[in-house]
A and B are shown apart, each in its own frame.
Chain A
């Protein structure tokens, strides 16, 4: 029986097997940020340990940072202390830090690939569940807790049990106005917010092969939203073209050698998955969520499920609770419903291609006067590129507020929050209660659908604007 892509990478990283227990899994690259690392540094210091492999760690400040006036001291005292602590910890332990103000700073899952740090065949971890993003390059990448961050600091390894494996094949052509975000929202709506728990997911099929690296990252990014520990896509020429010449990517002879290794990274024809799911790309329409977990999504032209359509009592109670929070009704259509906020950003959709999609749609148009539009690039590099392409001018003319890089309103740790009771179409990854601010009502969608709402002031099928 053949091996899957996941199997091949996994086996290359097993140091040893604990009797009757997990494997000691070697970690090639460890990303850290200000929010989930301080207690891990404290932990190793209390044990009298030093960081085992500081050169394999890269740090940035992204989660709690302001998106305005990043050159000034952070106003919020606790955020400032947390960022300061990251600087001190990295200095003390010899870790490369792309902190606030550094030209490489940005959301950790945007800068890793952009700098060429993320490379096929690697094992990558970070104290953040969206670490699955890096799987787009054919890596085993997953989010960990702070105790696990401490383990990697101490040993560059984790104790892990091999997960089950699922393959999702998406074949065919995507329709107009349908982008990567719609694919992943469609999958999560189909299998639910817990439907892939215990699995690592490989995305495959002709529709995936045609996607750019940034689109693949959007898909792998949200693997966690269906419970999967991670998602991955086999590397191919699109991957190598994206990577070549990036600052940390191998160069010269090393590039050729790396290519030879990377070309072995695919799932064998006779490999067997625990679960396989087949999806026809043409069935996917622009998507939107209506509830309080990412599995509560539908095509933008659909209606919210009626209670009678659900069989289990617990499901009915969940829907009731979610809709009460969202201020929505069962059976309702969301089309033409006014929204007050549009957020374009987060590790899911804040890369240059996302900004280009938005700019193409809003060029020579104005935002609706009742909508506030925040557009937050994923990194300083994305911001510079947007400027080079003149996207900043298009956004300014449209009345969009272009901010500085960070996680921003995806999780509302900084000042970028949505007020209680107001609706926000967001390109981020989570619509949980209070995620974008206490009482905030989040509707997840693609950058195109978000841009459409920015112009019309209401939930709009973007295909009517194309």
Chain B
């Protein structure tokens, strides 16, 4: 996994609540056997008329030229529904490195973190502030300081992140690196449990 320390970027606003992973990446695109290439199908059914890439939906934010950047800002309960990690892969492949919302679904949050995409949870008020910003505004996210700052106004909010996950993000480690180094403890645990249950 690539390390993630700081993002300074414009943002893409998607003020819709309960965006489920079927919207982020529809099931018909889950037939791939590698992690690459999902970005072109991100929000596929909101992005194109009748699945036709020649007919972009002009009102959908990814098709609006004035919006771009590495930060997606979405309504509450983002990533609910299916556990498909393809949703995190699609966001990352499209170029997003952080998603800002006032509430995240659990499995999506883990999947995002495991792929170096940072879920940033802010208050409903702060989220509304972001949605009211002009399209060329820059947002700065500092992983180490756990802050998100709207550079135009200087407003800053703190966000929570598990200290272990923060270390992983800052250094580009992942859970597998950690777990395979704990094999001895895992084997000891297994031996003790077998004794108990036989």
What residues of chain A have their CB less than 8 Å away from a CB belonging to chain B?
A: 12, 15-16, 18, 20-22, 24, 26, 35-36, 38-39, 42-43, 47, 49, 52, 63-64, 76, 78-79, 81-82, 85, 127-129, 143-148, 150-151, 154-159, 161, 163, 193-194, 197-198, 224, 227, 229, 257, 261, 293, 295, 314, 317-318, 321, 411-413, 430, 432-435, 438
Those of B1-57 within 8 Å (CB) of chain A: 15-18, 20, 22-23, 26-28, 30-35, 45, 50-51
On chain A, the residues within 8 Å of B80 by CB distance are 193-194, 197, 227, 293
* Count of interface residues, chain B, beta-carbon cutoff 8 Å: 57
C-alpha gap A85/B88 in the complex (Å): 22
Q: Which of B34, B88, B179 has the most CB of A within 10 A?
A: B179
Cβ–Cβ contact A143 & B162, under 8 A:
no
Residues of chain A within 8 A (CB-CB) of B68 are none
Q: Which of A15, A36, A295 contacts B85 (CB 8 A)?
A: A36
Residues of B within 8 A of A148 (CB): 110-111, 114, 175
Instruction: Give the residue of A197, A314, A432 whose beta carbon is less than 8 angstroms from that of B17.
Output: A314
Give bound CA distance, A22 to B31, whole Å: 32
Q: A16-B185, A78-B32, A432-B22 are in contact. Are A229 and B176 (CB under 8 A)?
A: no
> In the complex the two chains form, what is the Cα distance from A295 to B17 in whole Å?
13
Q: A78-B32, A194-B18, A293-B18 are in contact. Are A150 and B83 (CB under 8 A)?
A: no
Instruction: Tell me, rounded to whole Å, the shortest Cβ–Cβ distance linking A386 to chain B.
Output: 27
With both chains docked as a complex, state the minimum distance between the C-beta of B116 and any C-beta of chain A, in angstroms.
Answer: 11
Q: A129-B81, A156-B190 are in contact. List 8 more A-B contacts (CB 8 A).
A: A36-B83, A42-B35, A127-B83, A144-B107, A148-B110, A197-B104, A430-B82, A434-B26
| Minimum CB–CB distance for A275 against chain B, Å | 16
Contact of A314 among B75, B115, B165, B190 (CB under 8 A): B75
Contact assessment for B27 and A438 in the assembled complex, using a CB-CB cutoff below 8 Å: no
Contacts of A150 in B (CB 8 A): 176
Residues of A within 8 A of B179 (CB): 24, 151, 154-155, 157, 159
Residues in A whose Cβ lies below 8 Å from that of B75: 314
In the complex, the answer to whether A20 meets B163 with C-beta atoms within 8 Å is: yes
Residues of B within 8 A of A224 (CB): 81, 107
Residue of B at shortest CB range from A143? B83
Partner of A194, one of B27, B103, B175: B103
Nearest 10 pairs of A and B residues by beta carbon: A21-B164, A145-B85, A78-B31, A145-B111, A147-B114, A194-B77, A38-B33, A155-B179, A143-B83, A129-B83
* Distance between Cα atoms of A148 and B106 in the complex (Å): 13
- In whole angstroms, how far apart are the Cα atoms of A121 and B179 in the complex? 23
Report whether B77 and A434 are in contact in the complex, using a CB–CB cutoff of 8 Å: no
- Is there contact, CB below 8 Å, between A412 and B28? yes
- Is the Cβ of A197 less than 8 Å from the Cβ of B182? no
Q: Is the CB of B33 within 8 A of A145?
A: no
- A197 and B107 CA atoms in complex are apart in Å by 10
Q: How far is the CA of A264 from the CA of B159 in the complex (A)?
A: 40
Does B16 contact A15, Cβ atoms closer than 8 Å?
Answer: no
Please name all residues of chain B whose beta carbon is closer than 8 Å to the beta carbon of A193 when the two chains form the complex.
18, 77, 80
Assess the A85–B33 pair: CB atoms within 8 A.
Answer: yes
